[in-house]
Amino acid sequence: MAKKGLEGKVALVTGASKGIGRAIAMRLARDGAAVVVNYSSSAEQAQKAVADIQTAGGRAVAVRADVGRVGEVIKLFDATFSNFGRLDVLVNNAALPLYKPLVEISEAEYDRLFDVNVKGTFFACQQAAKRMADGGRIINVSSSTTVMMLATYSAYVASKGAVEQITRSLAKELGPRRITVNTISPGGTDTELFGLNKTAEDKKRFAQMAAFGRIAQPQDIADVVSLLASDDAHWITGQNLRANGGVI
């Protein structure tokens, strides 16, 4: 049997109890990685993801941490190393949505959004820079909405734009250690998060924007993450891969 692409490696996926994060965790496990399934509040769903990985013959553990708090990010990395002894792939997927007119957004909402979407990514990258094995992979999840000029998305796209810039700078910083740092920017994807406050007509409109005439399934995004996590992607760094089915 051929060796799996990530066999012997360890992946940490934030926000991995459901949606895109869960699909990424499942795919990286299928590729051979031991996976840390991070969650903040969905303990039952995280344990189900771990059980599904283990049933398929993989290794996984669920670790609760609110990535919007730096102390918990550090504990998440501590748990990764205590369980598996190393880290080769970090996927910063955890994020909060906020789709409201700018004049209605409170300071508390803004702060919480940036705590999870930006601070969480920044300090997870910091821990990876300190602890990740040379030749590792950091994959930050942004959104194609950063270039789509959508009303009510101002705070959300501001947070995701910051993620994209962190990626660009860090790619240069970690290049001497052969650690690649890339962004993946999904378009509309059939998840609970995407469906928040959207009507069937809203979803249909997003589907019609894609070249393939549909919104993505989480597995579509996980497949692209698998590519970036692989050895074959060793010459791709500092890039924003818009995995959106040709929306833009």
Active-site residue 110, yes or no?
A: no
Mean pLDDT score of the chain: 96
Q: What percent of the chain has pLDDT over 70?
A: 99
Question: Is the residue at 5 inside a domain?
Answer: no
Tell me, yes or no, whether 113 lies in a domain.
yes
Question: 98: which 2 tokens?
Answer: 């906020």
* Domain contains 3: no
User: Residue 198: which pLDDT band, with cuts at 50, 70 and 90?
Assistant: confident
Residues 85 and 81: their CA atoms lie apart, in Å, by 4
Compute the half-sphere exposure of residue 240: CA atoms within 13 Å on the CB side of its CA: 23
Among the ranges given (21-35, 96-110, 140-154, 195-209), the one the predictor scored with the smallest mean pLDDT: 195-209
Q: What is the pLDDT of residues 153-162, one digit of tens each?
A: 999 999 999 9
Among the listed residues 99, 110, 153, 156, the single catalytic one is: 156
Bridge partners (DSSP) of residue 38 are: 63
Instruction: With a cut of 80, say whether residue 2 has pLDDT above it.
Output: no
Q: What is the dihedral of CA 40, 65, 54, 31, to 10 degrees?
A: 100
**H/E run at residue 12:** strand 10-13
Q: Give pLDDT, residue 4.
A: 82
Domain-embedded: residue 1: no
Tell me, yes or no, whether 136 lies in a domain: yes
Domain enclosing residue 186, as ranges: 10-240
79 part of a folded domain? yes
pLDDT at 50 over 80: yes
Domain count, the chain: 1
Q: What is the CATH number of the domain that holds 150?
A: 3.40.50.720
Residue 1 has what pLDDT?
A: 35
Residue 213 is assigned to a structural domain of this protein: yes
Q: Which of 56, 44, 53, 45 lies closest to 25 in space, CA to CA?
A: 53
Check residue 178 and give its pLDDT.
Answer: 98
pLDDT value at 150 more than 60 = yes
pLDDT at 5 over 80: yes
Residue 180 lies in a domain: yes
> Measured at the alpha carbon of residue 205, what is the angle toward residues 199 and 210, in degrees to the nearest 5?
135
What is the sign, positive or negative, of the torsion defined by CA atoms of 69, 193, 12, 183? negative
What is the CB neighbour count within 10 angstroms for residue 31?
A: 21
pLDDT at residue 203, rounded to an integer: 87
